[in-house]
């Protein structure tokens, strides 16, 4: 049985809840009087909680406010969805979901046409942006880090942005990382006109999931049709990127040319 994205998100929030309450997974199962395998399936997004079961979990974990109970009821109601739209009104949740997807991913493909991808940003570049996300700490220090491919638009380094010294430092950073072969530059002349960034993450037990960042929301897609559409778009972009050698040359040129 495949995991629905909505159930997986509910599991992320329930896991965060029981850890904040000081329970291990086995300890929470014991406090609930449940078989550990039942709780494991709930946290993995493979089983949807009933109303009474949800209220029991919330009571055991010390949730007292009606607002928080209603938030979890909403998560349960959306548990069978394969698409997850999250307004930036609840920025913390969208960031948590993105961070856990990133932390568990075995492969990440990132298309970033107008800004440098989060995982590749220098500290100064990230601090210069009006609002920025943070990458999962130690992602590339894992015993088995994810396979990554970054399709970076040339516009991310040539259009007006942070002050020139910051842009030069960012370009030099990308040039150094490009030696590993995971970065490809999309020439401005070849851009498709697609302004939005997206990521395709391959997560064990969940499968491929697309994250689409929009100005005031984040959209997570898990249905096969949507994932296949974005995978095809990524292949089209890849077809017009500079090859590895030319990417390194172009990044070196940009590092020296930004004034």
- pTM for the whole structure: 0.85
Secondary-structure breakdown of the chain: helix, strand, coil percentages, each rounded to the nearest 5? 55, 15, 30
Taking the CA atoms of residue 192, residue 236, residue 4 and residue 68 in that order, the dihedral angle to the nearest 10 degrees is: -30
- Strand-pairing partners, residue 203, are 207
* pLDDT exceeds cutoff 90 at 63: yes
Q: What is the pLDDT of residues 1-36, one digit of tens each?
A: 456 888 999 999 999 999 999 999 999 999 999 999
Tell me whether strands 207-214 and 183-186 are parallel, antiparallel or unpaired.
Answer: unpaired
Q: Please, where in the chain does CATH 3.30.870 lie?
A: 86-257
pLDDT given at position 70: 93
Check pLDDT > 70 for residue 178: yes
pLDDT for the residue numbered 193: 57
| Tokens read off for 124 | 């100064």
Whether the Cβ atoms of residue 220 and residue 84 lie closer than 8 Å to each other? yes
Category of 198 on φ-ψ map: left (φ > 0), alpha (ψ -120 to 50) or beta: beta
Distance between start and end Cα atoms, the chain: 55
30's tokens = 């014991």
Report whether pLDDT(225) > 90.
Answer: yes
Place of tokens 């909403």: 74
Q: Which residue intervals of the chain bear CATH 1.10.260.40?
A: 5-77
pLDDT for the residue 11: 92
Domain 86-257 belongs in CATH node 3.80.30: no
Please give the pLDDT value at position 1. Answer: 42
The tens digit of pLDDT for each residue in 113-170 reads: 988 998 899 888 888 887 666 666 667 777 788 899 999 998 888 877 778 888 888 9
What's the pLDDT tens digit per position in 66-99?
A: 999 999 999 999 888 888 876 656 667 888 888 8
pLDDT of residue 134: 62
CATH fold, domain 5-77, is 434 Repressor (Amino-terminal Domain) (1.10.260)
Average pLDDT value for residue range 232-253 = 91
Does 259 score more than 60 pLDDT? no
pLDDT band at 188 (very low <50, low <70, confident <90, very high): confident
Mean pLDDT score of the chain = 86
pLDDT value of residue 162: 74
CA distance 110 to 201: 9
Q: CA–CA separation, 246 vs 242, rounded Å?
A: 6
């Amino acid at each position: 049985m495949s995991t629905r994205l909505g159930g997986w998100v509910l599991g992320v929030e329930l896991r965060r809840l029981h850890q904040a309450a000081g329970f291990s997974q086995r300890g929470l199962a014991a406090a609930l009087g449940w078989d550990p395998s039942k709780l494991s399936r709930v946290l993995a997004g493979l089983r949807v909680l009933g109303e009474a079961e949800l209220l029991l979990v919330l009571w055991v974990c010390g949730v007292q406010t009606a607002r928080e109970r209603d938030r979890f009821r909403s998560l349960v109601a959306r548990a069978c969805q394969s698409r997850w739209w999250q307004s930036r009104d609840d920025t913390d949740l969208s960031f948590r979901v993105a961070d856990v997807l990133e932390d568990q991913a075995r492969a990440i493909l990132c298309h970033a046409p107008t800004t440098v991808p989060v995982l590749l940003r220098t500290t100064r570049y990230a601090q210069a942006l009006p609002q920025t996300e943070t990458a999962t700490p130690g992602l590339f220090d894992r015993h088995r880090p994810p396979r990554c491919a970054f399709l970076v638009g040339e516009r991310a380094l040539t259009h007006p942005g942070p002050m020139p010294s910051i842009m030069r430092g960012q370009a030099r950073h990308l040039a150094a990382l490009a030696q590993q072969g995971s970065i490809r530059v999309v020439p401005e002349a070849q851009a498709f006109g697609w302004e939005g960034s997206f990521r395709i993450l391959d997560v064990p037990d969940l499968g491929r999931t697309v994250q689409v960042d929009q100005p005031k929301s984040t959209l997570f897609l898990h249905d096969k049709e949507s994932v296949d559409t974005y995978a095809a778009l990524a292949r089209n972009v890849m077809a017009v990127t500079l090859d590895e050698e030319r990417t390194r040359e172009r990044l070196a040129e940009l590092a020296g040319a930004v004034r």
